[in-house]
Amino acid sequence: MTNFIKIAGVFVSLVLLSACTTGGNVGVDPNAGIDTTQTAGPVGAIPGSQQDLEENAGHRVFFAYNQYTLTPQAQSTLARQAAWLQEYPEARILLSGNCDERGTREYNLALGARRAEAARSYLASLGVDRARITTVSYGKERPIDPRSTEEAWSLNRNSTTTIKSVGS
Amino acid sequence: MNRIFAILLTIIAALCANAASARVTIDITQGNVDPMPIAAPDFLGVDDSTTSLGRDITSVLMNDLERSGLFQVIDQRAYIEKPEGVNVRPRFADWRIINAQVLIVGDVVELPDGRMQVSTRIWDVYSDEQVGAVAFKTPADNWRRAAHKVADFVYKTLTGEAGYFDTRVVFVHETGPKEKRVKRLMIMDQDGANPVPLTDGLNYQVLTPRFSPTQQQITYMALFDNRPGQVFLFNIETGEQEQLGTFRGMTFAPRFSPDGRQVIMSMERNGNSDVFKMDLATRRLTRLTDHPAIDVSPTMSPDGRRFAFASDRGGSQQIYTMTADGSDQRRITFGEGRYQTPVWSPRGDLIAFTRQYKGRFYIGVIRPDGTGERLLTESYLDEGPTWSPNGRVLMYYRQTPTRRDGTGGNSALWSVDLTGRNQRRVRTPADASDPAWSPLLP
């Protein structure tokens, strides 16, 4: 009987675990394990954090196929990033240029560098010190969306902004 | 590993060189027609272990010859005569009945020092003549290389050109989801046997490895997280890796010069990519192109006089050539779509490329003067050709589309001969990309 209870207990926790994983938040939630139902009040992004940048400025700009010119939409996202960076003058950022899979590996590495540089130049033109910005190209090696669809490709053609360090 | 490199094979004798005048040949320059029917009974042994080795060697030999597309190995069950020994004249009539044009007879003998000797004779069934004979001595556990050496000898005897079977291929071994792919450097025999990982894939992804034409050395690009990727050198014998200089921008698309003393590559600075070459002894860097367009994928001609590269200086990517000092620019491709990844044949007569056109990818070849373009393969994504050392076969990788449910998206190595008719999958332990063919092993 006790054995049965033990086994049943294990079974229940397995079910709970799998329920959590299908929920999709356990792996990335830094509060995993804390009883979040006890938290009172709204939880916003920490000012100056990556999450803050993503929520309040947008951290990705997208490009047309085989292009590295900034669309008006990309320019307005970068303008919000520039304003955000003025607010947090100690923040340093990394711009990573990415491509869809409809090009060769080597050309896409060069194209990704173009995209990151296009974003960097635009931020600099809006008054962000170039020294605060580093760039990297991942070519077609780091897709956000792995599928071979137009929708996935348009997501994968981007320059992504990541906070490298925030001054104290 | 070391054992593979301590070269174990020695040609001891051409048993009986016979320069027959009307001998059987295959003209591989003619865009092959019908494969030559060839018979290869199991190599004979004197006891259980040599008999078993003989069978294994014959199987590797037949696989090499068959995959070349030049030979059709006749099913052993059709053979009438059972050869009595490598030094016994065959009954040619028995082989003519089954339509064999060429007969290969061999044996395996254990030597007093523990090594084995593999002897082979090639007979022209129609002129009743021996057209070639060779013997190799090697440690028994090196039998695969002995088999590839025999295959190269058969190829050379019947085509007049060096073979490519005793070679290896480095490639990128791929595991994990596409968004977070682990890419390690791996090496294997040309036929997919003996795969061995060379890097652990933990700190960076390995991209675009290339073999030195003169040494057991590889150059590749390491793609890091959060800093620009850089070109590395990797010594296969010692396992030592070394970053080829420290640069602020990304260095990529490396390839050795034909003498193995230089690496020609692209370097990116403030978003723009140009072609440079680096002398490996002095580490001196020389700029070869200086253009606001993207200049990538440089490759040198075997005589070292010119290099080809891909550039979008004319709008879309096309292939250009220049002299080794960066002068005398010539555009050589003018077709629709985008031409990329030029690779100069070790024979010098052709440049292989990847072409993108209307949503499909092709591997093709073109003469260095821009004439004679031919497309050999087509798929959703074919990319990155590499030449066999004799310039007759290309290996490349093919990626399938990833479906909406996330399945598919597999990468595999393929080979194709210059007719385009003989396309074959090359077996690898898992997904694979970016193959690079070694020169013939010494």
| Domain assignment present for A153 | yes
Residue A27 near chain B (CB below 8 Å): no
* Band of pLDDT at residue A165, cut at 50, 70 and 90: confident
Residues whose CB is less than 8 angstroms from the CB of residue A47 and which lie 6 or more positions away in sequence, other chains included: A88
* Band of pLDDT at residue B248, cut at 50, 70 and 90: confident
| Domain assignment present for A68 | yes
Residue A134 near chain B (CB below 8 Å): yes
Q: What is the pLDDT of residue A16?
A: 36
* Band of pLDDT at residue A89, cut at 50, 70 and 90: very high
Distance from CA of A13 to the nearest CA of B (A): 28
Cα three-residue angle B162-B167-B170, rounded to 5 degrees: 140
Cβ contact (<8 Å) for A109 and B409?
Answer: no
Task: Out of A9-18, A125-134, B205-214, B286-295, pick the least confident.
Answer: A9-18
CB contacts of A120 in chain B (<8 Å) are: 271
* Predicted confidence (pLDDT) at residue B83 exceeds the cutoff of 90: yes
DSSP-assigned letter for residue A133: E
* Band of pLDDT at residue A80, cut at 50, 70 and 90: very high
The span from the first CA to the last CA of chain A, in angstroms, equals 58
Show contacts of B92-98: CB within 8 Å, 24+ apart. B92/B123, B92/B125, B92/B126, B92/B128, B95/B39, B95/B123, B95/B125, B96/B125, B96/B126, B98/B39, B98/B74
Residue B271 near chain A (CB below 8 Å): yes
Q: What is the pLDDT of residue B34?
A: 84
| Domain assignment present for A87 | yes
- A-B CB pairs within 8 A amount to 114
CB contacts under 8 A, B 181-200 vs A, are 181, 183
Q: Give residue-wise pLDDT tens across range B331-354.
A: 999 999 999 999 999 999 999 999
Q: What is the pLDDT of residue A51?
A: 95
CA-to-CA distance for B112 and B402, rounded, in angstroms? 57
Average pLDDT over chain A, rounded to whole? Answer: 82
Distance from CA of B305 to the nearest CA of A (A): 23
* Predicted confidence (pLDDT) at residue B105 exceeds the cutoff of 80: yes
Average pLDDT over chain B, rounded to whole? Answer: 92
Reported residue count of chain B is: 442
Residue B274 near chain A (CB below 8 Å): no
Could you tell me the CATH number of the domain that includes residue A160? 3.30.1330.60
Largest CA distance in chain B: 73
Distance from CA of B217 to the nearest CA of A (A): 21
CB contacts of A141 in chain B (<8 Å) are: 181, 183, 205, 207, 223
| Domain assignment present for A4 | no
CA-to-CA distance for B35 and B71, rounded, in angstroms? 4
CB contacts of A50 in chain B (<8 Å) are: none
Rg of chain B on CA atoms, in Å: 23
* Band of pLDDT at residue B406, cut at 50, 70 and 90: confident
* Predicted confidence (pLDDT) at residue B209 exceeds the cutoff of 70: yes
Residues spanned by the domain of A78: 50-165
Q: What is the pLDDT of residue B63?
A: 97
Q: How confident is the model over B37-41, as a mean pLDDT?
A: 97
CB neighbours (10 Å) of residue A165? 11
CB contacts under 8 A, B 383-442 vs A, are 383-384, 399, 401-404, 406, 408-409, 434
Q: Give residue-wise pLDDT tens across range B89-100.
A: 999 999 999 999
| Domain assignment present for A43 | no
Q: Are B433 and B411 in contact (CB under 8 A)?
A: yes
Q: Are A91 and A134 in contact (CB under 8 A)?
A: no
Q: How confident is the model over B13-33, as a mean pLDDT?
A: 51
Provide the ipTM: 0.92
Residues whose CB is less than 8 angstroms from the CB of residue B50 and which lie 6 or more positions away in sequence, other chains included: B107, B108, B109, B110, B116
Q: What is the pLDDT of residue A42?
A: 62
Residue B30 near chain A (CB below 8 Å): no
Q: What domains does chain B contain, in order, with CATH numbers?
A: 2-159 (3.40.50.10070), 168-437 (2.120.10.30)
* Predicted confidence (pLDDT) at residue B430 exceeds the cutoff of 60: yes
* Predicted confidence (pLDDT) at residue B1 exceeds the cutoff of 60: no
Q: Give residue-wise pLDDT tens across range B52-61.
A: 999 999 999 9
To test the contact with chain B by mutation, choose from A105, A114, A142 the residue with the greatest count of B C-beta atoms within 10 A, namely: A105
Q: Give residue-wise pLDDT tens across range B144-167.
A: 999 999 999 999 999 999 999 999
% of chain B at pLDDT higher than 90:
89
CB contacts of B401 in chain A (<8 Å) are: 148
Nearest CB partner across the interface for B406, out of A106, A107, A146:
A146
| Domain assignment present for A159 | yes
Distance from CA of B144 to the nearest CA of A (A): 34
CB contacts of A109 in chain B (<8 Å) are: 207, 221, 229, 250, 252-253, 268, 296
CB contacts under 8 A, B 281-340 vs A, are 294, 296-297, 310, 317, 338, 340
Q: Give chain A's domain count.
A: 1
CB contacts of B434 in chain A (<8 Å) are: 105
CB contacts under 8 A, B 211-250 vs A, are 221, 223-224, 226-229, 249-250
| Domain assignment present for A11 | no
% of chain B at pLDDT higher than 70:
93
Among candidate residues B156, B220, B167, the one with its CA nearest the CA of residue B190: B167
CA-to-CA distance for B351 and B328, rounded, in angstroms? 18
* Band of pLDDT at residue A30, cut at 50, 70 and 90: very low
DSSP-assigned letter for residue A99: -
Q: What is the pLDDT of residue A6?
A: 44
CB contacts under 8 A, A 68-107 vs B, are 94, 101-107
* Band of pLDDT at residue B278, cut at 50, 70 and 90: very high
* Band of pLDDT at residue B205, cut at 50, 70 and 90: very high
* Predicted confidence (pLDDT) at residue B233 exceeds the cutoff of 50: yes
